[in-house]
Structure 1
Amino acid sequence: MSVKSSTPGHFRKRDVFVEVGHGMARLNRKEAADFLGFAPATLANWALKGYGPSSFKVGGRRFYWLADLERFVANGSS
């Protein structure tokens, strides 16, 4: 799984392409922030406050399922 943009280093929702191998796509905090159009620190603050898209930790790092990010956007939460 990788996330890439048509312009390296500049991400917007419509420019993000996610290649999914087996199962669901899992994005780290930076990839999720790029997908949503926010700074990674914003997602970190939301997680502390219990707001934002659903996330989970693996080995101390926070991850987001692509489906949860898309649901968050569809609900008008971003």
Structure 2
Amino acid sequence: MRERLVKERRSKGLTQKQVAEIIGISEVYVRKIEKGLRNPGRETMLKFEILYKTPAKKLFPDLFRVSIDTKCIKEKSKEVC
């Protein structure tokens, strides 16, 4: 669940259907994005940023997480997995 995304929508008093109409996507897609079942494309992400006046990194933190597998790097020294 992308809690910040849901929080921003609720703070503006919007339903998922209203967000879908404003952004120009389906209500089902909004629901799946909020639940984290689907990831928005860059254009859709920008529309959420504009609507909520909040950076995408805060709305979609899971998409901006960087994971470095240091164990893999140490084991293969010259290769990066």
TM-score band, normalised by shorter chain: 0.3 to 0.5
The TM-score with structure 2 as length reference comes to 0.33
The TM-score with structure 1 as length reference comes to 0.34
Mark the structure with the bigger radius of gyration.
2
More strand by share: 1
